[in-house]
Chains A and B, each alone.
Chain A
Amino acid sequence: MTDGMMAIAILLPLLAGLVIFLVRDYYARNVVVVVTALTLIANSILFVVKGPFTYTPTGFNWGLVIEVLDYAILIFYLYLGFTLRNWLVLIFAVTQLIPLAYFEFVMKAHVEVAPAFVVDNLAIIMCLVISIVGSLICIYALRYMYDHEQHAHVEKSRQSRFLLWLVLFLGAMNGLVFANNLVWLYFFWEVTTMCSFMLISHDKTELAIKNAARALWMNSTGGTAFIIAIIYLYVTQGGASALSMQNIIGGTLQGSILLLPVALLCYTGCTKAAQMPFQSWLLGAMVAPTPVSALLHSSTMVKAGVYLVLRLAPAYAGTYVSTAVAIVGAFTFFGTSALAISQSTGKRVLAYSTIANLGLIIACAGINTPLSIAAAILLIIFHAISKGMLFLCAGTIEHLIWSRDIEDMEGLAAKAPLTTLITALGILSMFLPPFGMLLGKWIALEAAYRIPLAAVLFVLASTMTIVFWTKWLGRLLQVLPKLGWPFEKLSLSYSVPLWTLLVGIFVVGIGVAPIYQNFVASAAHNVISGTQIFASGWDNMSLSGTSVKGLLGYFPVWALYAVFAIAVLLPLIFVGLKPTQLRPVYMCGEQSGAMDADEYMAEADTKTKVILGGYYFQDSLGEKTLNPVVNTIAILLLVIMIGCGVILK
Chain B
Amino acid sequence: MMRQLILLIATIVVAPFIGGLLFGIDRRITARLQGRFGPPILQPFYDFLKLIGKERIAVSRLQFVWIYAYLVFMVGSLLCLVFQSDFLILVFLLGFAGVSLVLAGFSTKSPYSHFGANRELLQIMAYEPVLLLLAIGIYAQNGTFLISEIFNQSRPLIFSLWPLFIAVLYVLTIKMRKSPFDIATSHHAHQEIVKGVITEFSGPYYALYQLAEWYEIVLVLGIVALFWTNPLWVGILIALAAFLLELLIDNIAARMTAPWMVRLSWTVGLILGVLNIAYIYFTKGVS
Contacts and interface: CB of A to CB of B under 8 A. Distances in A.
Contacts of B146: 554
A566 B69 CA distance: 9
B166 to A, nearest CB: 18
A555 B56 contact: no
Given A433-B93, A478-B109, A459 B132 contact: yes
Interface in B100-134: 102-103, 105-114, 117-118, 121-122, 124-125, 128-129, 132-133
B49 interface: no
B88 A584 contact: no
A452 interface: yes
Contacts of A433: 89, 92-93, 96
Interface in B258-287: 270, 273-274, 277-278, 281, 286
A432 interface: yes
B228 interface: no
Query: Which of A431, A442, A448, A478 is most buried by chain B, counting CB atoms within 10 A of its CB?
Result: A478
B73 A474 contact: no
Given A479-B61, A481-B59, A586 B92 contact: no
B88 to A, nearest CB: 6
Contacts of A106: none
A475 B103 CA distance: 9
B110 A585 contact: yes
Interface in A551-570: 554-556, 559-560, 562-563, 566-567, 570
Given A438-B92, A586-B200, A579 B76 contact: no
B111 A610 contact: yes
Contacts of A577: 56, 64, 68, 204
A571 interface: yes
Contacts of A467: 121, 124-125
Contacts of B200: 585-586
B60 A559 contact: no
Number of chain B interface residues as a range: 35 or more
A580 B125 contact: no
Given A449-B139, A559-B76, A586-B200, A470 B89 contact: no
Interface string B60-87: 1111110011001100100110010110
B199 interface: yes
B194 interface: yes
A587 B111 contact: yes
B103 A473 contact: yes
Contacts of B95: 466
A581 B55 contact: yes
A466 B96 CA distance: 9
A586 B145 CA distance: 44
B57 A580 contact: yes
Given A582-B61, A615-B118, A446 B278 contact: no
Contacts of B122: 615
Contacts of A149: none
Contacts of A474: 102-103, 105-107, 117
Nearest to B107: A477
A452 B99 contact: no
A649 interface: no
A274 to B, nearest CB: 25
B227 to A, nearest CB: 19
A610 B102 CA distance: 20
B172 interface: no
A479 B64 CA distance: 13
Given A559-B79, A585-B200, A612-B114, A578 B64 contact: yes
Interface in B130-160: 132-133, 135-136, 139-140, 145-146
A466 B56 contact: no
Contacts of B117: 474
B31 to A, nearest CB: 27
Contact of B89 (A479, A560, A582): A560
A466 B132 contact: no
Given A445-B88, A583-B57, A612-B114, A470 B103 contact: yes
Number of chain A interface residues as a range: 35 or more
A584 B59 contact: yes
A278 to B, nearest CB: 27
Contacts of B286: 449-450
Contact of A481 (B60, B102, B132): B60
A566 B286 CA distance: 38
A462 interface: yes
Query: Which of A450, A455, A480 is most buried by chain B, counting CB atoms within 10 A of its CB?
Result: A455
B238 interface: no
A580 B200 CA distance: 15
Nearest to A615: B118
B234 interface: no
A14 interface: no
Nearest to A462: B132
Interface string A448-467: 11101001100110111011
A404 interface: no
Contact of A477 (B55, B103, B194, B274): B103
Contacts of B107: 474, 477-479
Given A467-B124, A556-B86, A577-B56, A587 B110 contact: yes
B145 A559 contact: no
Interface in B224-279: 270, 273-274, 277-278
Contacts of B61: 479, 481, 578-579, 582
Interface in A577-622: 577-587, 598, 610, 612, 614-615
Nearest to A448: B136
Interface in A415-452: 431-433, 438, 442, 445-446, 448-450, 452
B21 interface: no
A555 B136 contact: no
A615 B105 CA distance: 14
Given A456-B277, A459-B132, A463-B125, A479 B99 contact: no
B58 interface: yes
A478 B61 CA distance: 10
Contacts of B59: 481, 582-585
A466 B129 CA distance: 11
A413 interface: yes
A549 interface: no
B109 A612 contact: yes
A421 to B, nearest CB: 11
A471 interface: yes
Contacts of A610: 109, 111
A583 B93 CA distance: 31
A64 B127 CA distance: 60
Interface string A311-333: 00000000000000000000000
Given A463-B129, A466-B99, A612-B109, 16 more contacts: A433-B89, A442-B88, A459-B129, A470-B103, A473-B103, A474-B107, A478-B107, A479-B61, A555-B85, A559-B79, A563-B93, A567-B72, A582-B60, A585-B59, A614-B118, A615-B121
15 contacts: A442-B88, A449-B286, A452-B281, A456-B270, A466-B99, A474-B105, A474-B106, A481-B108, A559-B80, A577-B204, A578-B61, A582-B57, A583-B57, A585-B59, A587-B111
The 7 closest A-B pairs by CB, nearest first: A474-B106, A585-B110, A563-B76, A579-B58, A459-B132, A463-B128, A556-B86
Interface of A: 411, 413, 431-433, 438, 442, 445-446, 448-450, 452, 455-456, 459-460, 462-464, 466-467, 470-471, 473-475, 477-481, 554-556, 559-560, 562-563, 566-567, 570-571, 577-587, 598, 610, 612, 614-615
